[in-house]
Structure 1
Amino acid sequence: MKLIEYADRDMLAIDLANMLAGELESCLFNHDHATLAVPGGSSPGPVFDALSGVGLDWGRVHVLPTDERWVPESHERSNARLIRQRLLTDKAAGGVLVPLYRDGLEPEAALEQIGAALAPNLPLSILLLGMGPDMHTASLFPGAPGLAEALAGKGGPVALLRPESQPDVRVSLTAPVLDGALSKHLLIFGQDKREALERARSLPPEEAPIQAVLSEMTVHWAE
């Protein structure tokens, strides 16, 4: 794990966006497409804003959420909606969204279809993750029903989780899929999350799911 500290959040957003853009450009130079997996939440928004203004061959960039609430894209809590509004806009408007939600299906019935759509996009080229103070990442919440399956990843590239602290069923990329990304970045703000990350390093993934993906991770932190 490599930790990069920034003077402030604005500088972090700009520098991280430039780093992601450089990795995407390098990937596109060597491959026919690049797969970028990104989180929801408020923290990555400024990174998305900066990255969307970078001139790349966005038509060859496949963007997917690391996890998704089982709600349609029109819903305010949809991560796909956030990605369209904040990342796939401006110069990045031509990027290809690979959604995890399937309209009209129950999540259990959709897993095989989602996995088939993800197969051509794996391994992930570039991964950006967030982390909560409880040390969850994507929708891998400590103690959540479905966590063991998501950590093992034996049922395919996505798993269902039902965190008791959350209002929606979640579908998430599994820990092996997240950890298998060719380049991995973690974005965290504040002293509480930095302390949580330090605690996670000595805990098992069942208690601190972020631990499952920390190998060769670059952590970007600002107060």
Structure 2
Amino acid sequence: MLADAQAVAREAVARILESASGALKARGVFRWVLAGGGTPRLAYELLVQANRDWRGWQFYLGDERCLPPDDPERNSRMLDQALFRQAAIEQEQIHMIPAQLGAETGAAVYAETIRNSLPFDLVLLGLGEDGHTASLFPGHEYAPDALVVPVHDAPKPPPDRISLGYGALSSARQLLFLVNGTGKHPALSAWRAGKDIPPARIAAEDVQVLADQAAANG
């Protein structure tokens, strides 16, 4: 348990750098899945200040909204502003979800993009107030072994999205959840209690949760 969102972001950066160092030493490449949201954005901004060598880093995305590429609500837009431009990441290192193609087509294309990159070294995830993670929502069924899934009728706009599926997430070497704010306390408590929400369906071996006091204690 950490003090606040700033502390969560700082600890996330430390663990990202640790994971990157281990992957680069072992395999010469660090394949990292990024998340959208305010706390991840803060972590990316701190990471740009902490890291100067991006050779060997490959960037992927956990989920995306089916909107035009220049829409400000796209996760890729936030990542471009907070990380890619600031760190001068080369375009060939960036593998964003082509959600502008529509949920089904974009999901199929991205599944082929990531197929030969699995398992990911690190996947960064958040936890929604309703218990969703990436764009996997409670009450929706997704094939348990799917690498990437089209999402329709999402309970928050836009309704159409694309998300990494349980197959890709469960195979990851490490999952790192960033959870902060009192609004996340019920979902975090439900997960701890063993409720059937999407994070509980991810069968990865190394799952770490960084939560602030508000999320942990409500």
- Shorter-chain TM-score range: 0.7 to 0.9
Q: How does 1:133-148 map to 2 (within 5 A)?
A: 133-143=129-139, 147-148=140-141
How far 1:165 moved relative to its partner? 3.3
| 1:197 and 2:194 are equivalent in the alignment | no
Alignment partner of 1:171 out of 149, 159, 162? 162
The amino acid across from 2:20 in the alignment is: L
Q: Give the 3-state SS of the residue equivalent to 1:123 in structure 2.
A: coil
Q: Tell me, yes or no, if the aligned pair for 1:36 and 1:64 is still in contact at 8 Å.
A: yes
| 1:100 and 2:90 are equivalent in the alignment | no
Residues 12 and 59 of structure 1, relative CA distance in 2, 3 Å threshold: same
Matched residue, 1:187: 178
1:21-75 CA-to-partner distances (Å, cap 9, x unmatched) read 1211221111132111111122211101011223354242111110011123211
Aligned-residue sequence identity (percent) comes to 25
**Could you say which structure has the higher helix fraction?**
2
Matched residue, 1:114: 110
How far 1:168 moved relative to its partner? 3.5
Residues 92 and 55 of structure 1, relative CA distance in 2, 3 Å threshold: farther
- Structure 2 regions of 5+ residues with no counterpart? none
Once residues 27 and 52 of structure 2 are traced to their aligned partners in structure 1, the CA distance between those partners, rounded to angstroms, is 14
1:66-85 CA-to-partner distances (Å, cap 9, x unmatched) read 00111232111111111111
The amino acid across from 1:217 in the alignment is: V
Residues 109 and 13 of structure 1, relative CA distance in 2, 3 Å threshold: closer
| TM-score using structure 2 length | 0.86
Once residues 12 and 204 of structure 1 are traced to their aligned partners in structure 2, the CA distance between those partners, rounded to angstroms, is 24
How many residues align? The count is 210
Q: Give the 3-state SS of the residue equivalent to 1:121 in structure 2.
A: coil
Q: Give the 3-state SS of the residue equivalent to 1:129 in structure 2.
A: strand
Q: Give the 3-state SS of the residue equivalent to 2:44 in structure 1.
A: helix
- TM-align CA RMSD: 2.1
Matched residue, 1:217: 207
Once residues 88 and 202 of structure 1 are traced to their aligned partners in structure 2, the CA distance between those partners, rounded to angstroms, is 38
How far 1:204 moved relative to its partner? 4.9
Q: How does 1:1-223 map to 2 (within 5 A)?
A: 5-91=1-87, 93-94=89-90, 96-101=93-98, 103=100, 105-143=101-139, 147-150=140-143, 152-153=144-145, 156-162=146-152, 163-205=154-196, 208-213=197-202, 216-222=206-212, 223=214
1:184-203 CA-to-partner distances (Å, cap 9, x unmatched) read 11000123313321212344
The amino acid across from 2:172 in the alignment is: A
Moved more, 195-204 or 177-186: 195-204
Q: Give the 3-state SS of the residue equivalent to 1:20 in structure 2.
A: helix
How far 1:109 moved relative to its partner? 2.7
| TM-score using structure 1 length | 0.84
Once residues 97 and 15 of structure 1 are traced to their aligned partners in structure 2, the CA distance between those partners, rounded to angstroms, is 24
Once residues 133 and 102 of structure 2 are traced to their aligned partners in structure 1, the CA distance between those partners, rounded to angstroms, is 23
Q: Give the 3-state SS of the residue equivalent to 2:178 in structure 1.
A: strand
